[in-house]
Amino acid sequence: MINVRGLARGLIKSAWLRVPSWRSLKYIGCSNTYLFLPINGAGLGHLTRTLAVARRLQQQKPDAKIVFLTTSIGVTLVHRAGFVCHHVTPAALLNESPAAWNQLFFKSIEAVLALHRPGTLVFDGTAPYLGLQRIMRLYTRIRYVWVKRGLYKAGVDQEKIKGYIELFDNIIAPGELSELGSVNEEADKKVCRVDPIALLDRADLLDRATARKMLRLSEDCTCAYVQLGAGNINGIADLQDRVIKHLQRRGIEVVLGQSPIALKPEPNLDADSVIVDYPNSRYFSAFDFSILAGGYNSVCEAVMLGLPTLFVPNMSTGADDQLRRVEMAAHFGPYKVLTDISERQLDSAIDSFLGECVRPCYQGRNGAEDAARLLWEMR
Assess whether 207 and 342 both reside in one domain. Answer: yes
Assess whether 177 and 239 both reside in one domain. Answer: no
Evaluate whether residue 239 is within a structural domain: yes
Assess whether 173 and 315 both reside in one domain. Answer: no
Evaluate whether residue 48 is within a structural domain: yes
Supply the CATH number for residue 210's domain: 3.40.50.2000
Distance CA(249)–CA(230), nearest Å, equals: 25
Evaluate whether residue 11 is within a structural domain: no
Q: What are phi and psi of 33, to 5 degrees?
A: -115, 130
Assess whether 161 and 284 both reside in one domain. Answer: no
Per-residue pLDDT in tens (0 to 9) along the chain, 379 residues: 556 565 566 666 666 666 767 778 889 999 999 999 999 876 788 999 999 999 999 999 999 999 999 999 999 999 999 999 999 999 888 889 999 999 999 999 999 999 999 999 999 998 999 999 999 999 999 999 999 987 666 666 778 888 999 999 999 999 887 654 444 444 467 899 999 999 999 999 999 999 999 999 999 999 999 998 765 545 577 888 899 999 999 999 999 998 888 777 776 778 999 998 899 999 999 999 999 988 888 999 999 999 999 999 877 766 677 888 888 888 888 999 988 888 899 999 999 998 877 677 778 889 999 999 999 998 6
Assess whether 159 and 263 both reside in one domain. Answer: no
Evaluate whether residue 5 is within a structural domain: no
Assess whether 68 and 106 both reside in one domain. Answer: yes
- The pLDDT of residue 184 is 43
Assess whether 188 and 239 both reside in one domain. Answer: no
Evaluate whether residue 337 is within a structural domain: yes
Q: Which of 50, 281, 289 is nearest to 172 (CA)?
A: 50
Q: Which domain does 72 fall in, by range?
A: 16-196+366-377
Q: Which of 95, 174, 108, 101 is nearest to 135 (CA)?
A: 108
Assess whether 160 and 218 both reside in one domain. Answer: no
Assess whether 48 and 153 both reside in one domain. Answer: yes
Query: At 303, which amino acid appears?
Result: V
Q: What is the pTM of this model?
A: 0.88
- The pLDDT of residue 18 is 67
Assess whether 189 and 210 both reside in one domain. Answer: no
- Please count the structural domains in the chain: 2
Assess whether 340 and 273 both reside in one domain. Answer: yes
Assess whether 271 and 166 both reside in one domain. Answer: no
- The pLDDT of residue 187 is 43
Evaluate whether residue 103 is within a structural domain: yes
- The pLDDT of residue 154 is 65
Evaluate whether residue 360 is within a structural domain: no
Evaluate whether residue 323 is within a structural domain: yes
